[in-house]
């Protein structure tokens, strides 16, 4: 019986990864986790129920992983003592916003403070929460058209996984990267030491809806390659904007202020580690001039994510930064070859 179960698992299809955004739903499925090869990728209008049902029928199997929109995810850093339990952590979060009361919460310690200073040791937690009713709504939406939902995740985790698998090379544990996931409605900023996420923030809606006047550099977007023992082929580099230098021009607007506050928070926690590079993902990252201006004004090398450079067969139907989250979900949850 055990052997039969093992064979069944080997022959089953990888799950269909479904990434919900404001206006569209992106579905992606791999054929293998070891050698990323695309089976199929489709984009459906957010309000096209019949189209979604037909799209689901085009994939292998009915098992799905859901990534809910970033606008419906809560993210908060809090500082607590080592002895505080889950209820005390939740109480501190509710002091920041009452919305945390009905959330399922995941958290990770990103830094220890107060060690060796005479103060009681504390830990800084990165907390991510999703309201139970929100998760249930998306599960019911898919299951009503015949899908079987295995798990629910958030763009923060999926995009970081995509970065870890696609862009982090051997030896990159010493590299500090900022991933800016730009969605049409809401965005995340992540800072990772190697593959370990140490900071995350959801940009306020105000910062995204108030347009900022960017002073766009005149340099062309071009491929950027690195030399060394772990050199990748040129087509497997993140699409480089250019080697940026600190700019004397100022970015006027809420978005710039939020980005600089994120850098200040990271620098306060880790004064010995500066951000080495910025990788832009998400649907709004297709605006390369804006991304180049952000990187230039922050004085950090910038890159545009494009998972199709690592996923065979994705060049025509799943290319560009908008597919980063779906690709990260596939890399995280894909099983054996279909």
Q: What is the 3-state secondary structure (H, E, C) of 215-231?
A: CCCCCCCCCCCCCCCCC
Residue 264 lies in a domain: yes
DSSP assigned state of 213: B
Let me know whether 247 and 198 are in one domain. yes
CA distances from 300 to 45, 243, 278, 279, 305 (A): 36, 8, 7, 10, 16
pLDDT digits (tens, 9 = 90+) for 253-312: 677 788 888 888 888 888 888 888 888 888 888 888 888 888 888 888 888 888 887 788
Looking at 129, 153, 168, the residue that finishes a domain is 129
Sign of the C-alpha dihedral computed for residues 95, 97, 98 and 101 taken in this order? negative
Is there a contact between 27 and 42 (Cβ–Cβ < 8 Å)?
A: yes
Summary mean pLDDT of the chain:
76
Let me know whether 290 and 168 are in one domain. yes
Q: What is the pLDDT of residue 146?
A: 93
Q: What is the pTM of this model?
A: 0.77
Let me know whether 247 and 224 are in one domain. yes
Residue 338 lies in a domain: no
Q: Report the domain count for the chain.
A: 2
Let me know whether 168 and 93 are in one domain. no
Is there a contact between 29 and 15 (Cβ–Cβ < 8 Å)?
A: yes
- Distance between alpha carbon 47 and the CA centroid of its chain, in Å? 24
Looking at 82, 113, 129, the residue that finishes a domain is 129
Q: Rounded to 5 degrees, what are φ and ψ at 134?
A: -65, -50
Let me know whether 289 and 216 are in one domain. yes
| Pure H helices in 19-83 | 49-57
- Number of residues that this document lists for the chain: 338
Distance CA 162, CA 58 (A): 24
pLDDT digits (tens, 9 = 90+) for 169-206: 556 667 888 888 887 667 888 888 877 788 888 875 44
298, exposed or middle or buried, with CB in 10 Å at 0-12, 13-18, 19+?
A: buried
Let me know whether 156 and 251 are in one domain. yes
Looking at 94, 129, 164, the residue that finishes a domain is 129
Let me know whether 240 and 294 are in one domain. yes
DSSP assigned state of 231: P
Is there a contact between 63 and 16 (Cβ–Cβ < 8 Å)?
A: yes
Distance CA 289, CA 280 (A): 12
Residue 198 lies in a domain: yes
Q: Identify the domain containing residue 103 by its residue range.
A: 72-129
What average pLDDT score do residues 237-251 get? 46
């Amino acid at each position: 019986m055990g052997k039969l179960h093992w064979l069944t698992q080997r022959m089953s299809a990888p799950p269909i990864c479904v990434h919900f955004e404001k206006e569209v739903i992106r579905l992606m499925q791999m054929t293998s986790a070891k050698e990323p090869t695309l089976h199929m990728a489709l984009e459906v209008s957010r309000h096209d129920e019949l189209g979604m049902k037909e799209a689901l029928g085009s994939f292998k199997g009915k098992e799905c992983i859901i990534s809910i929109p970033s606008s419906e995810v809560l993210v908060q850093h809090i500082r607590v003592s080592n002895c505080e339990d889950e209820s005390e952590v939740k109480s501190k979060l509710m002091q920041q916003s009452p919305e945390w009361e009905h959330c399922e919460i995941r958290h990770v310690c990103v830094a220890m403070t107060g060690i060796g200073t005479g103060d009681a040791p504390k830990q800084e937690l990165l907390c991510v929460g999703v309201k139970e009713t929100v998760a249930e709504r998306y599960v019911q939406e898919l299951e009503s058209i015949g899908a079987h939902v295995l798990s629910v995740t958030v763009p923060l985790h999926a995009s970081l996984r995509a970065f870890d698998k696609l862009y982090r090379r051997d030896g990159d544990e010493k590299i500090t990267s900022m991933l800016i996931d730009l969605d049409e409605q809401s965005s995340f900023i992540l800072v990772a030491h190697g593959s370990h996420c140490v900071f995350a923030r959801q940009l306020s809606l105000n910062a995204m809806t108030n347009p900022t006047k960017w002073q766009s550099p005149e340099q062309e977007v071009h491929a950027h390659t690195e030399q060394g023992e772990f050199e990748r082929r040129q087509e497997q580099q993140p699409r480089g904007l250019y080697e940026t230098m600190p700019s004397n021009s100022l970015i006027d607007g809420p978005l710039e202020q939020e980005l600089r506050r994120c850098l200040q928070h990271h620098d306060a926690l880790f004064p010995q580690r500066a951000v080495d590079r910025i990788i832009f993902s998400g649907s709004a990252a297709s605006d390369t001039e804006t991304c180049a201006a952000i990187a230039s004004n922050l004085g950090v090398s910038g890159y545009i994510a494009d998972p199709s450079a690592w996923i065979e067969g994705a060049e025509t139907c799943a290319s560009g930064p908008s597919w980063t989250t779906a690709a990260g979900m596939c890399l995280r949850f894909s099983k054996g070859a279909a």
